[in-house]
Amino acid sequence: MRQLPPEFFRTPYAFYERLRAEGPVHQIELRTGVRAWLIVDYDAAREALRNPTIRKDPHTDAGAGARRESAGNSGVGAVNARLSHHVLNMDPPQHARLRKLVTPAFAPARIEALTPRITAITDELLDGLAKADGPVDLMAEFAFPLPITVICEMLGVPIADRAQFKEWSAVVSDITLADPVQMRSATDAIVAYFEDLLARRRAEGPGADLLYDLLTAGDADDRLTDDEIISMAFLILIAGHETTVNLIGNTMLTLLADPSKYAELRQDLDGVPALVEEMLRFEGPVNMATLRYTTVPTVIGETEVPAGELVLVALGSANHDEKHFAAPEIFDTERNPNGHIAFGHGIHFCLGAGLARLEARIAISRLLDRYPDLRLAVGADDISWRESVLFRGVQDLPVEVTKAPALR
Ligand code: HEM
């Protein structure tokens, strides 16, 4: 039984490389005592994510064993059940029904139409950076508020409630590590909040927000239930809080750690989309996909995993698999095709991928354009990484935004 080594949160890639050298599937015990089968190879990861017998819904008989195991002394079992009726907890055929009802809200044309608003929010935040007198935390002042503001506006969550959500999100975002008491209280508060918001939203009538879309999705025969709406809003809000933030943060750290890269990209802003794509592979914000479990004995790679066992797919490892990517430790924006699985694979492929890409492209392009002299205020090795199994991102990113004084 493996355990995550102490350096895992700073950099998981050497550990993953050692595991891949030994085989595609390994038993692992997390700090909370949760035991799972960790999949580290690209092919095996895709196979597992596509396998219809490896499932997500914990509220089934087949999921009972896995549910007990994952609950352990972590926060998994303490989540308010009313928040669990979302796509990422569902299997076919329920998954397809719900996904179909929420997909129109994320249609490419609707996401594209957000460009002017995302650009305006970005520029407003970037104006704020210039006012700083000394180092600024790029995470707190830019990478974090941008996707949150976008998602709150999309959902119709009042911006004044953002701070509250940040707090809740910090508790619930890594359920494999969270404390059960805190988890229960945060998820109860989220349910109460959304119930209230939904009632107000119903009373207000038509609007252009996602909550209204969810309220009116489908037809008279098939509408989302209140618990499904609350759960979907919750999932979207967490996704908006914990992922794009880190894509922006990880990209800026990679660029600023090598100032020549930053300067080079400034000359070629058309290269930003390819940069974002390679960043998703190289340092993607979702390190491991969410928990799944086997319902029958299942061969993954060449390992037989018994029924009722938890499965964790290490997307960060699959995206560094040397059997699939030449020189995976090299950040190469020319990789073509790239083929990363940073947004997952199969039926649970990220619903927000288009939005995340658009936000990251705008954020990075505007930052490069407006702040040519941006540089790290501390050494790249002094930056702390979050201690999360699922998400990969830094705690803070102190930067200097003003020109360095000229040397005499
Ligand atoms: C760079 C940013 C993002 C990354 C890397 C990312 C990654 C992922 C991954 C890996 C999954 C699959 C998880 C699994 O199979 O266990 C997923 C699912 C999902 N993501 Fe994202 N995500 C990002 C941003 C977003 C945003 C901005 C939203 C919404 C506003 C979003 C909404 C969702 C939803 C709803 C699902 C569940 C889809 C389903 O189960 O059918 N994501 N995401």
| Residue 164 falls inside a structural domain | yes
The answer to which of 62-71, 220-229, 390-399 has the lowest mean pLDDT is: 62-71
Q: Are 104 and 211 in contact (CB under 8 A)?
A: no
72 pLDDT exceeds 80? Answer: no
CATH of the domain at 381: 1.10.630.10
Task: Quote the percentage of the chain above a pLDDT of 70.
Answer: 93
Cβ neighbours for 270, distance < 8 A, ≥ 6 positions apart: none
Return the ligand 1 atom nearest residue 315 CA.
10
Pairing of strands 310-313, 35-39: parallel
pLDDT value of residue 403: 59
Return the ligand 1 atom nearest residue 147 CA.
27
Region 10-36 average pLDDT: 94
Domain count, the chain: 1
pLDDT value of residue 177: 58
Measuring from atom 18 of ligand 1, which residue has the nearest CA?
350
| Residue 408 falls inside a structural domain | no
pLDDT value of residue 49: 98
| Residue 407 falls inside a structural domain | no
Measuring from atom 21 of ligand 1, which residue has the nearest CA?
350
* Of residues 186 and 252, more confidently modeled: 252
| Interior angle at CA 49, CA 168 and CA 247, nearest 5 | 45
Rounded to 5 degrees, what are φ and ψ at 38? -100, 125
Within 6 A (CB) of ligand 1 lie 87-88, 99, 151, 235-236, 239-240, 243-244, 247, 284-286, 289-290, 315, 342-344, 348, 350-352, 355-356
Measuring from atom 9 of ligand 1, which residue has the nearest CA?
343
**pLDDT per residue as tens digits for the range 122-140:** 999 999 998 888 899 999 9
pLDDT value of residue 311: 96
Question: In testing the pocket of ligand 1, which one of 57, 97, 343 has its CB within 8 Å of the most ligand atoms?
Answer: 343
- The secondary structure of 143-198 as a DSSP string is ITHHHHHHHHHHHT--GGGHHHHHHHHHHHTTTTTS-HHHHHHHHHHHHHHHHHHH
Nearest by Cα to 366 from 187, 159, 146:
146
68 pLDDT exceeds 80? Answer: no
pLDDT value of residue 37: 97
CA of 166 to the centre of ligand 1 (A): 18
pLDDT value of residue 180: 81
| Residue 406 falls inside a structural domain | no
Mean pLDDT of the chain: 90
pLDDT value of residue 70: 58
8 pLDDT exceeds 50? Answer: yes
Q: Are 213 and 105 in contact (CB under 8 A)?
A: yes
Return the ligand 1 atom nearest residue 89 CA.
40
Measuring from atom 32 of ligand 1, which residue has the nearest CA?
352
Region 294-302 average pLDDT: 94
For residue 218, name the pLDDT band (cuts at 50, 70, 90): confident
Six-digit token string for 47: 């196979």
The answer to which of 58-67, 304-313, 345-354 has the lowest mean pLDDT is: 58-67
For residue 203, name the pLDDT band (cuts at 50, 70, 90): very high
pLDDT value of residue 408: 45
Region 395-402 average pLDDT: 93
The answer to which of 57-71, 107-121, 234-248, 263-277 has the lowest mean pLDDT is: 57-71
pLDDT value of residue 76: 63
* Of residues 221 and 358, more confidently modeled: 358
**What's the gap between Cα 115 and its chain centre?**
21
Q: Domain range for residue 154?
A: 2-400
278 pLDDT exceeds 70? Answer: yes
| Residue 228 falls inside a structural domain | yes
Region 374-392 average pLDDT: 93
What residues does 37 pair with on adjacent strands? 27, 311
What residues does 310 pair with on adjacent strands? 293
Three-class SS state of 286: strand
CA of 243 to the centre of ligand 1 (A): 8
pLDDT value of residue 172: 81
| Residue 405 falls inside a structural domain | no
Nearest by Cα to 228 from 101, 85, 88:
85
Q: Are 241 and 147 in contact (CB under 8 A)?
A: yes
For residue 71, name the pLDDT band (cuts at 50, 70, 90): low
175 pLDDT exceeds 70? Answer: no
* Of residues 147 and 180, more confidently modeled: 147
CA of 343 to the centre of ligand 1 (A): 6
Cβ neighbours for 405, distance < 8 A, ≥ 6 positions apart: none
**pLDDT per residue as tens digits for the range 77-96:** 778 889 889 999 999 999 99
